[in-house]
Amino acid sequence: MVDPANTVGIPVNPTPLLKDELDIVIPTIRNLDFLEMWRPFLQPYHLIIVQDGDPTKKIHVPEGYDYELYNRNDVNRILGPKASCISFKDSACRCFGYMVSKKKYIFTIDDDCFVAKDPAGKAVNALEQHIKNLLCPSTPLFFNTLYDPYREGADFVRGYPFSLREGVSTAVSHGLWLNIPDYDAPTQLVKPKERNARYVDAVMTIPKGTLFPMCGMNLAFDRDLIGPAMYFGLMGDGQPIGRYDDMWAGWCIKVICDHLGLGVKTGLPYIYHSKASNPFVNLKKEYKGIFWQEDIIPFFQNVKLSKEATTVQQCYIELSKMVKEKLSSLDPYFDKLADAMVTWIEAWDELNPPATA
């Protein structure tokens, strides 16, 4: 049995890393009491809260936090007709927070994620570890068997090419979870009591050409490097699929990172995932995705972006055209999704115009 950390008595960090360069994005439908546990690590930072569901509901945020709160009325007001690209009644709505942020870095966390303990019983400052991951290079072109060579106590092993030891910029840091694993509905049904108590003290770069299942509940990224591609798709209300929002974004960002020579890391930090969602509800949301992913994943494995695509936006527009061409035959939903991808980029560029010289 694994329990969350007790953070009572831990002082708020007086020298938080990247305090003025990072926003924390939280999608929610409920009061954010879980932030009390995170106070020592997260209170110094600015929060962007994206309220899903009923916009008239009052969301309580613990005292002392600096935050902006957006509901569906705000999304409609700010984006106008382009608000159609932001999902409703689904945690995919979090990507609106990515769009309105003006910071270089984003950390996003779900409201059922608590502070984890490391094997020594110490509370894990997940955000600090994400920042360390993002500020250190990645090594996607050659796998290091001691995992992240830039961590203290590690290095490049014998046989690692010296020409590749500089690494590449890290765009994404993907964290993991203790207690409730991020399983799909069929696995939840087969293993209803399974809990993850394994804390693996490792960070690794996902190799170039390798896709991965990205989970959005404990995730950080460099908004300047990959932000426009961090779109969680059309999910939830009015859509035939759910619980694939972060998966879709993960597949998109990985092929774009590979193309642009950027890195994606996974492993530390851990959070404590407190609540298992209902597997029968999840199955209703996932079942089409479970079938579709057998075609979607080969599609992404074969994506080849052009040499002319040198920005994230250009890559994403090319990718949207490929989705329309290759996946629309799978289901009309993908034609709609491809259009939403274009709308997302248009809305992103409107809110984030390129700096002029």
Residue ranges per domain, the chain? 22-351
At residue 41, what is the residue type?
F
Strand partners, 196: 179
Residue in the structure block whose two tokens are 């960090």: 13
Interatomic CA distance for residues 353 and 99, integer angstroms? 11
Question: For 32-52, what is the mean pLDDT?
Answer: 98
Interatomic CA distance for residues 353 and 343, integer angstroms? 15
Strand partners, 70: 50
What pLDDT sits at residue 261? 98
Interatomic CA distance for residues 221 and 102, integer angstroms? 13
| Strand duo 66-70 + 170-179: pairing | unpaired
Interatomic CA distance for residues 36 and 65, integer angstroms? 10
DSSP 271-305: EEE--PPPHHHHHHHHHHHHHHHHHHHHHHHT---
The kind and range of the H/E element at 109 are strand 105-109
Residue in the structure block whose two tokens are 């052009």: 306
Summarize pLDDT for 239-258 with one digit per residue, the tens: 999 999 999 999 999 999 99
Nearest residue to 310 (alpha-carbon basis) of 257, 346, 260: 260
What pLDDT sits at residue 276? 86
Summarize pLDDT for 79-99 with one digit per residue, the tens: 999 999 999 999 999 999 999
**Domain 22-351: which CATH class?**
alpha beta
Residue 357 pLDDT exceeds 60: no
At residue 293, what is the residue type?
Q
Contact 215, 112 (CB under 8 A): no
| Strand duo 203-205 + 263-273: pairing | antiparallel
Interatomic CA distance for residues 244 and 139, integer angstroms? 27
Summarize pLDDT for 288-301 with one digit per residue, the tens: 999 999 999 999 99
Residue 130 pLDDT exceeds 70: yes
Interatomic CA distance for residues 248 and 217, integer angstroms? 14
Contact 340, 353 (CB under 8 A): no
For the chain, give the percent of residues with pLDDT over 70: 99
| Average pLDDT taken over every residue of the chain | 97
At residue 19, what is the residue type?
K
163 CB neighbour count, 10 Å cutoff: 8
Contact 139, 129 (CB under 8 A): no
pLDDT level of residue 285 (50, 70, 90 thresholds)? very high
Interatomic CA distance for residues 229 and 260, integer angstroms? 12
For the chain, give the percent of residues with pLDDT over 90: 97
The kind and range of the H/E element at 316 are helix 312-327
Summarize pLDDT for 175-225 with one digit per residue, the tens: 999 999 999 999 999 999 999 999 999 999 999 999 999 999 999 999 999
